Structure 1
Amino acid sequence: MTKYSNILVVADPAQDHQPALSRAIHLARRSDDVKITLFLAIYDFSYEMTSMLSADERQAMRRGVVMQREEWLKDLIRPYTDDGFNIQLTVVWHNRPYEAIIAEVFSNHHDLIIKATHDHDKIGSVIFTPTDWHLLRKCPCPVLMVKDHSWPENGKILASVNLAADDETHEKLNDSIVDEAKSIADLLGAEVNLVNAYPATPVNITIELPEFDPASYTDAVRGHHLKSMKALRHKHGLPEEQTHVLEGLPEDIIPQVAEDIDAELVILGTTGRTGLSAVFIGNTAEHTIDSLNCDLLALKPEGYVSPLSPNLP
């Protein structure tokens, strides 16, 4: 039984080429009994605004658009279904795509979302849409954001861990990030690398405390992170040369290391406002994470409850 057996692929309504579907097929080829649902949420405000139409006529027009899109998706999946892949289609009318996607996850218990991101023409970096950000923050299951490139054999996976905090939640999240990286690496024949960013010495401390020695402070912080990384790699049986501990902000260090090792996939955790997850909070971080030039898999910690969960009061 594979880990991801019920994958939700979010279709891109703007193009025939569907990198997210290709990625799902890539995973399904290497596993048994994978069910893929190709999902599209559509909405056309003009159909809601036509006062000349009765409610029934508006409903009929919506149904017509939905059926038209279903036919388009059927054409897209035909080569794969003819090849024996289990692919279902779901098209819904909804004005907030991310809410429709997360509702679908809850109702049909999907264990992975795959969605294509948009390339920025100038530098080839990832531009996340508002829907992407909502999914990264609020989706209860892992979210794989895909770029339009292939996953090469013997590629590299970069797992981003947070070694600043000693609390149990972060330790568990670190372990699940590394375990995830290892299981995907086994599936794809890839190499696992770990990355951790540690903070630079705050400038204001050196100004306010003349006797403060920034060099020894930096050495102490770096030493703590190196020691924690050593413990983590020993625990998971990884060699030292596949670990990277660098000074700087996570949102700068992660894309830098991903580029240096030519990673095909970055895995990180996304919740709360501390450590790693701070990458996903605030405008600066949102813009810098855009510079990742490969796929991104975002995991939630154990026990995460989505604000869109139907079980919330």
Structure 2
Amino acid sequence: MKRFKNILYVSEEGVDQASALARAVTLAENNQAELTVIAVVPRIPGSKGTADGVPDSTGLQATLESEQRQRLESLIDPHGQRINIARKVFTGKAFLEIIRAVLRHGYDLVIKPAENPDFLARLFGSDDMHLLRKCPAPVWLMKSQEKSNYSSILAAVDFDPLMAGGEELALNEQIIGLSASLALSDFAVLHLAHAWEAFAEGKMSVWGGDPAAAATYVENERLQHESGLYQLGEWLRNRIGSEAYDYLAPRFHLRKGQARKVITALAGEVQADLVVMGTVARTGIPGLLIGNTAEAILEQVQCSVLALKPAGFVSPVKLVE
């Protein structure tokens, strides 16, 4: 299934990105999509040249950009016979220039090797987190030494059974549909996961009362969440057809607990190569993986992540500021 038409790959200097670019090239081939590879170099503050021949900031900036173009050429060269790859070098703050490129050229997927800062246990760095929060296009952050084919893909969905539908449902369907497409192309196991909580359970315990009533309440909550998860499974069956669905045989995981703990633990349990999740929801949609919950998961997982935004998301980054 062709899902992408215009893919942006962001070069990340200082990490091994050969496997990440190879996967981006293959994805572009399979989708018959345009592929652009970019690098962003920092802007050197203005300064005057010195008497001993040290170049001024303009000369240093030009040298820095030229060297980066040469690095891009070397990176792209092994794939030059497969597809036509555009390449560009931007100057400025990395995440801002990446998002502006998306806004300017309508890229429908951003692929980037994770920064993997040495001083943090988490996989993703500052620019990565800015992209996950603010980029309007899906962002696929890949580990160094990325697999050419995934074995296990975890799709994390969340919803309030009493408020299912609309934007929330559309995002969950986007997560599951894309995860299934990738799992089918990679012959990977697909895991559909949902974390749920019975929010009044604690109050009922504090207030006392009928233990049987409390147990019934919790079980009813579980059943509602279970129904919502399996409804998404049926949507997927209808979307891809029974034959493909039966071949895919997605595995359902309904776990009680906080999403930040459940999804992180489950990703390790199923040895996920990729977690597909939503990172931002618009005001008024409770229950989605947003804000601190999403970031807590992202700071703990040690696999690649594909993060999606709801339809209508507007980036706070502007083309001109």
User: Same fold, TM exceeding 0.5?
Assistant: yes
Q: Retained in 1: the 8 A contact 2:192–2:250?
A: no
* Matching residue of 1:174: 172
* Matching residue of 2:73: 74
* Matching residue of 1:289: 298
Alpha-carbon distance in 2 for matches of 1:16, 1:148: 6
* Matching residue of 2:147: 151
* Matching residue of 2:128: 132
Q: Retained in 1: the 8 A contact 2:19–2:147?
A: no
Shift of 1:309: 4.7
Shift of 1:116: 1.3
SS at match of 1:70: helix
* Matching residue of 2:242: none
* Matching residue of 2:240: none
Q: Does 1:276 align with 2:288?
A: yes
* Matching residue of 1:99: 96
Amino acid at match of 2:254: V
Structure 1 pair 84–99 and aligned structure 2 pair: CA distance change class (3 A): same
Higher mean C-alpha deviation, range 216-225 or range 113-122? 113-122
SS at match of 1:41: strand
* Matching residue of 1:261: 270
Report sequence identity in percent.
Answer: 27
Amino acid at match of 1:256: A
Alpha-carbon distance in 2 for matches of 1:16, 1:293: 16
Alpha-carbon distance in 1 for matches of 2:153, 2:70: 36
TM-score, normalising length: structure 2? 0.82
Q: Retained in 2: the 8 A contact 1:117–1:126?
A: no
Q: Retained in 2: the 8 A contact 1:205–1:212?
A: no
Higher mean C-alpha deviation, range 34-43 or range 236-245? 236-245
Q: Retained in 2: the 8 A contact 1:12–1:18?
A: no
Amino acid at match of 1:131: D
TM-score, normalising length: structure 1? 0.84
Higher mean C-alpha deviation, range 12-21 or range 33-42? 12-21
Structure 1 regions of 5+ residues with no counterpart? Answer: none
Alpha-carbon distance in 1 for matches of 2:11, 2:148: 23
Q: Retained in 1: the 8 A contact 2:190–2:250?
A: no
Q: Does 1:229 align with 2:197?
A: no
Q: Does 1:205 align with 2:194?
A: no
Q: CA offsets, 1:36-59, max 9 Å, x none?
A: 211111115xx4153557xx9422
Structure 1 pair 219–241 and aligned structure 2 pair: CA distance change class (3 A): farther
Structure 1 pair 152–104 and aligned structure 2 pair: CA distance change class (3 A): closer
SS at match of 2:171: helix
How many positions carry a matched residue from both structures? 301
Q: 1:240-255 to 2 correspondence within 5 Å?
A: 242-255=251-264
Q: Retained in 2: the 8 A contact 1:255–1:293?
A: no
Alpha-carbon distance in 1 for matches of 2:181, 2:270: 19
Amino acid at match of 2:61: R
Alpha-carbon distance in 2 for matches of 1:121, 1:60: 31
Q: Retained in 1: the 8 A contact 2:189–2:250?
A: no
Q: 1:107-126 to 2 correspondence within 5 Å?
A: 107-119=104-116, 126=122
SS at match of 1:233: helix
**What CA RMSD, in Å, does the superposition of the two structures yield over aligned residues?**
2.9
Q: CA offsets, 1:52-102, max 9 Å, x none?
A: 57xx94223211210111012111111111x322212111110x2111001
Structure 1 pair 16–119 and aligned structure 2 pair: CA distance change class (3 A): closer
Structure 1 pair 16–277 and aligned structure 2 pair: CA distance change class (3 A): closer
Q: CA offsets, 1:162-184, max 9 Å, x none?
A: 13242421111111111111222
Shift of 1:152: 6.0
